[in-house]
Each structure stands twice: as structure tokens, then as C-alpha cells.
Amino acid sequence: MALSLPEALAKLPRHPLLYSHPSPIHPLPALTSYLNTNPPKSPKSTPQIRLFAKREDQSSPLACSGNKYRKLEYIVPDILSPQPLYNSYPNNTPNPNHPPTSNQKTTTLITEGAIQSNHTIQVSSLANHLNLSSVALLHKGTGGGLSASTDKTSFLRTGNPQIAHLLGADIRVLEPGSTNGGRTDTVEPVLAELRAAGKTPYWIPSGASLHPLGGVGYARCAFEIAAQEKQLGARFDYIFVACGSGSTVGGLIAGFKMLERMESSSSPPSQNTGGKTKPPRKIIGIINSPTKPQTWHEERVLRFARQAGSLIGLEDASQAITLEADVHLDGRFAGAAYGVLDEDTKRTMEIAARKEALILDPVYTGKVLSGVMGWVEGGGLVGDWEGRGGGVAGDGEGPLNALFIHTGGQAALAAYADLE
């Protein structure tokens, strides 16, 4: 599928890791029917809300397909460069006063995450794809998945760690730290160890979000979704996605902001009913960890969105993307802790599996779909639509369309022995 990308985005180096076709978008008719059986009545109407899923878990031929491959596509060219611009710990920020002096090519990818990290699997798989080695630092103290498990031995060995072993990653399971805000700096010693062994490591931060290029892949995804909208004949009024490290939702915000600019400058608004233009698509990030306050996540996503916006050619990105207008996060579905399976998420996973044969994961997608269902069942979606000037939903305007982005993660299910 050819995408109409802005010039700056089209020129950015990219190493394809995804299939040549977009990850599929398909309707969820059984869930749609389930949620519309007894919908909450707004003061004015009872609209139909249609649910769709974008299957990022089916986007790549590499192991455990998920959202990180789309991010990594724009990082690979720097990895393969003889003088990587962004290879610095901890946040890959280039230092113009100290340019790289080594012409040694990268030999090893190193990253970190929780015990059941999806990101570390996708980085390890990428390393194999590039004929490199990989090191995965897995922190026991990240989140509460391990501490909440009734079978800790299984949690440490099955699911993603098992796949990492199959991929041949050098796995370092690290104990919770006691300094530096609760965690010792365990990365620098490993980097020094690798360099002393004659290797050239390339650091990829958790989730790839702190990497300057981390949000570009999902800025591009916005244009992919828009192209699929035309094929489906349906615009997605709401897009729900997990907010973990933050660059997936930040990239989407930047991409759709740029898309709106391009649409408004190229032709009159086409998405209208009875001469009235619809409100912009709204991206809602469902926070999956209660560790940090929501304001921390919002500021982080804003930073990532502006950074991605600047890279794809959005003029004055720092003014064009604002906290109030563009960053919409919801922390009500995060549960007790990152990686902990709560009853609401378990219920959602069961409903999705039994009504759509859709398998979710307990860390991200289960909580996101819980959020989607909460917005629909609680009347929040209709109320937000009408509050933003979308008119009376269901009153001659057709249904509201909500897109759930499935970011993968099902491989972690094997570690959750309590899920029956």
C-alpha cells in the first residue's frame, strides 16, 4: 500500500521489519453487539458504536510481532552506521561537542525491561535479523508481575524469557537495586564489560521511547491507518492504544496532527455530515502502570509527540501539539501495578477470547480493551463526542467508530499461571 507521507518523513532512513502490507484492521462485530446491547443513554440519543482492531501483533514476520518493530525500523539505519549518531547511554541523545571517534560497526544490541518484557524479545529478534548479538537486562523489581505471581519460578522461566533463550540472547536477570532512586545503575558496567571484550554495543532504552527516533514509526502508522480508513470506508473517531513508555501514543499524536494539516491544506474537509465537519480523531492512551502520576505520563508523551512531529516536518511542533488539545491519557484501568493481572483485565480478556477469539495479554492490551469497554459502557465516548461538537451521535450521523490497537504481548501469557 502506497502511503501519502510528508516529505520529511518519507526521507527519513528506514529499514523495513514489517510485512509489505499494512497490519490488518478488522471489525469486532461480536464485541460491538455486546457493548451496544444495553448502551447508556445520552440525554439526546442512543448511538451505535462500532469497534475495530488494528493487529500490530500480525505486522511482522519476526518473533512475537508487536509495536516495537515499527519503532525499531527507524533506529536500524543508525545501528548499522559505522558512526551511529544516537548511540549513547542513557537516552541516546547526540552530543555535538563529543562526536563519535570509533569507526567500529555495532556488534551487540543491548536493552532492558521487566521480566516479561515484550520489547527485549523484539530487540533480540532484531539482533538475529541483523546478524548481531544481543543482551537483555531483565529487572526483577520492575512492576509487580513477579511479586504477585504464585509461581515465581515459572514466571522467571516461561513466557518471554523462554523465547529470549530460544533467540540466543544473553539474558541478565537483575535484582532490585538499593540506590539511585531504588535501582542501581546496572547498565554502565555491562556496557563497559562488552567494550572490554572487544564488542561495540548499541544501547536501546526500554520501549525505545527515549531514543530520539522512537516515535517516528507510529507517526508513520497514522498515515497507514488513514489509508486503511479509505479502503474500509470508515473514519476512526477514537483510537485507543497502550501508554507504557509513551512513544507509541506520542508518535500517533504527531502523525495524526501532521495528517490533519495536510488534509486541510490540500482540500476542503471531507469528513462531514450535513455540512458540519467532524471533530478530529482523538487518540486515547490507556496507562498500564500506576507507578507514576498521570501528569508525569502526560508530559512525557507530549515531549515524544513534539519530537516526532519535528522529525516528520510538522512546523512549530512545540506550539502545534499541546497538552490540553492533543494528549489524552486515562489511568483508571492501570490496576494495582505494572504487570499485575487484576480482575477487570481478566474479565476483559475472557470476553474478548470468548466473543471474538481475540487473545489479549495481561500487561497492555487487556487493560486497553478494558478502557475501550469502560468508555463505551460508561457513556464516556458518546459524552466526549457530543461535548467536542460532534453533534448528536447517532442522529443521522452514522455510528461512532473506535479503533483498538493490538500491540501484541501474548507470549507472556505462559508466565501467568493464575490465569485460567
Q: Using alpha carbons only, what angle is made at residue 172 by residues 170 and 176, rounded to the nearest 5 degrees?
A: 165
Q: Is 289 designated active site?
A: no
| Among the ranges given (34-48, 155-169, 197-211, 302-316), the one the predictor scored with the smallest mean pLDDT | 34-48
Q: Using DSSP, state whether 231 is helix, strand or coil.
A: helix
Give pLDDT tens digits for 160-181: 999 999 999 999 999 886 334 4
CATH architecture, domain 67-208: 3-Layer(aba) Sandwich (3.40)
CATH architecture, domain 7-64+212-267+277-415: 3-Layer(aba) Sandwich (3.40)
Candidate list 60, 117, 125, 245, residue with the active-site label? 117
Residues 67 and 18: beta-carbon distance below 8 Å: no
Helices (H), 198-312: 216-232, 247-266, 294-311
Provide the mean pLDDT of the chain: 91
Alpha-carbon radius of gyration of the chain: 21
Specify the amino acid at residue 394. Answer: G
pTM attached to this predicted model? 0.94
Examine domains 7-64+212-267+277-415 and 67-208 and report if their fold is the same.
yes
Give pLDDT tens digits for 292-319: 999 999 999 999 999 999 999 999 999 9
pLDDT at 21 over 50: yes
The residue ranges of every structural domain in the chain are: 7-64+212-267+277-415, 67-208
